[in-house]
Amino acid sequence: MGRLCLVSGGTGGHLMPALVLARSMQERGREPLLVIEGRDVERELVRRELPDVAAVELSRSSASPFLLPMWLMRATLAARRHLREHHVKGVISTGGRASLPVALAARSLRLPLFLLEQNAVIGRANRWLLPLSRRMYVGLPDASDCHDRALFTGTPLRSGFGYVQREEARRSLGLLPDVPVVLVTGGSQGARSLNEVVPAALQGVRAKMQIMHLSGLGNDAAVRHRYADVRRETVAHVRAVAADMDRLFAAADLIICRGGGTTVSELMAVGRPAIILPYPYHKDRQQLHNARVLERVGAAIIQEEAGLEPAALGDLIEELLLDPDRLREMGDRGRQLGRLDAVEAILEDVRNEVGDHELGGDELGGDEVGGDEVGGDVADVGESGLEGLRPVVGERGAAARRGGVA
């Protein structure tokens, strides 16, 4: 039986949509193949969210840009082997560096490639891969005008997003039902600036509130210590990571966060107002562009890190918490932009493009699909495609299956 391959890597923002799609495929009786880079954060997410998925790891490239072409060639050969062994009929990439060799392998085997872009600005990997793709699904409405192959579907989210009720979420989390809740999250890896500035900002806030703060792995003890200096009216619950993000978002009256594409889609799905501190060091400022999607409709307030004073942030938090009507209106405006049917929209389009007969019966024939040489396809990406890529800091990912790149 043919199957689909999902390739992702780097951050939870890339990987979570792939895991959501993989879970949905399993529920439909289709077992996908997942290809990741092999970073610790990826392994932890896969272990926690979908431990029974068939997964392989590609090695991470050297820090030296001179070794990147060699890594890409070797990783493409390994990816090609995995695609053939698992009888893959199509590839869906949700971003990350592992997508490059897998996409080239798919090209050499003449397999259709589908891209998912969660951000308002197309990422570097997707820019290079777009000419090789059949379709690019975009998670934010502003991105749908970027290319004639782009289709606005929304970003695949955990099934609870947009459906869990506030009262139910607070009860399950052990939160008081009538005290405002502020969620602070810096994404799958946490954010040092949020871990530092938010506790400092709340020291002067007199409004009563409950804080749910996700610090990232290894940071929870330090963040918990910082909250020791806030007023007694503020009760802080600090976790390193959370598997119940849908409940945390649903429980919140206000969310303080980064501006990752998946996070912005989650805000739209649940209809929650946000103070967004975009990550300032992306070359294309993608998180700022993501946040502006919500800011333009009055659903979020952007606070740039440069020159941000904790006291000013504290004043803004207090001002919003004391105006529940404004918070409700902001959330409603964001909800109008969201889509809750991203999984169905993407899988339906892929099924139409690949064909049910390909996914349900015929196995991928050995040498009949594509030749044995990938050099031409690697060369098609060309030097222009490679020079825009920053090399991955080298740490080998152990292959989950024998035969992965060493």
pLDDT of residue 64: 67
- Considering the domain boundaries, does residue 288 fall inside one? yes
- pLDDT-derived band of residue 394, with 50, 70 and 90 as boundaries? very low
- Considering the domain boundaries, does residue 352 fall inside one? yes
- Considering the domain boundaries, does residue 396 fall inside one? no
Q: Are residues 186 and 321 in the same domain?
A: yes
Q: Are residues 152 and 37 in the same domain?
A: yes
Determine the Cα–Cα distance for residues 404 and 406; give it in Å rounded to an integer.
Answer: 6
Lowest-confidence region among 43-47, 63-67, 250-254, 307-311: 63-67
Q: Are residues 312 and 344 in the same domain?
A: no
- CATH no. for residue 276? 3.40.50.2000
Tens of pLDDT, residue by residue over 240-280, are 888 889 999 999 999 999 999 999 999 999 999 999 999 98
- Considering the domain boundaries, does residue 212 fall inside one? yes
Span 301-320, average pLDDT: 94
- Considering the domain boundaries, does residue 393 fall inside one? no
Q: Are residues 187 and 302 in the same domain?
A: yes
Q: What percent of the chain has pLDDT over 90?
A: 60
- Considering the domain boundaries, does residue 141 fall inside one? yes
- Considering the domain boundaries, does residue 316 fall inside one? yes
Determine the Cα–Cα distance for residues 293 and 272; give it in Å rounded to an integer.
Answer: 14
Range of the domain at 103: 3-157+340-387
Lowest-confidence region among 37-41, 101-105, 316-320: 37-41
Q: Are residues 350 and 309 in the same domain?
A: no
pLDDT of residue 189: 64
- Residues in Cβ contact with 225 at an 8 Å cutoff, skipping those fewer than 6 apart: none
- Considering the domain boundaries, does residue 170 fall inside one? yes
User: What is the reported pTM?
Assistant: 0.82
- pLDDT-derived band of residue 379, with 50, 70 and 90 as boundaries? very low
Q: Are residues 69 and 205 in the same domain?
A: no
Determine the Cα–Cα distance for residues 309 and 253; give it in Å rounded to an integer.
Answer: 23
Measuring CA to CA, how many Å separate 171 from each of 157, 164, 166, 244, 263? Answer: 22, 11, 9, 13, 23
Tens of pLDDT, residue by residue over 173-215, are 999 999 999 999 987 666 888 999 999 999 989 899 999 999 9
pLDDT of residue 405: 32
Q: Are residues 194 and 63 in the same domain?
A: no
Q: Are residues 221 and 276 in the same domain?
A: yes
- pLDDT-derived band of residue 300, with 50, 70 and 90 as boundaries? very high
Q: Are residues 57 and 134 in the same domain?
A: yes
pLDDT of residue 43: 86
Say if residues 106 and 127 touch (Cβ distance below 8 Å). no
224: amino acid identity, one letter = R
Mean pLDDT value across the chain: 84
Say if residues 44 and 104 touch (Cβ distance below 8 Å). no
Q: Are residues 146 and 170 in the same domain?
A: no
Q: Are residues 311 and 178 in the same domain?
A: yes
282: amino acid identity, one letter = H
As for how many domains the chain has, the answer is 2
Span 357-366, average pLDDT: 45
Tens of pLDDT, residue by residue over 320-335, are 999 999 999 999 999 9
Say if residues 269 and 303 touch (Cβ distance below 8 Å). no
Q: Are residues 181 and 106 in the same domain?
A: no
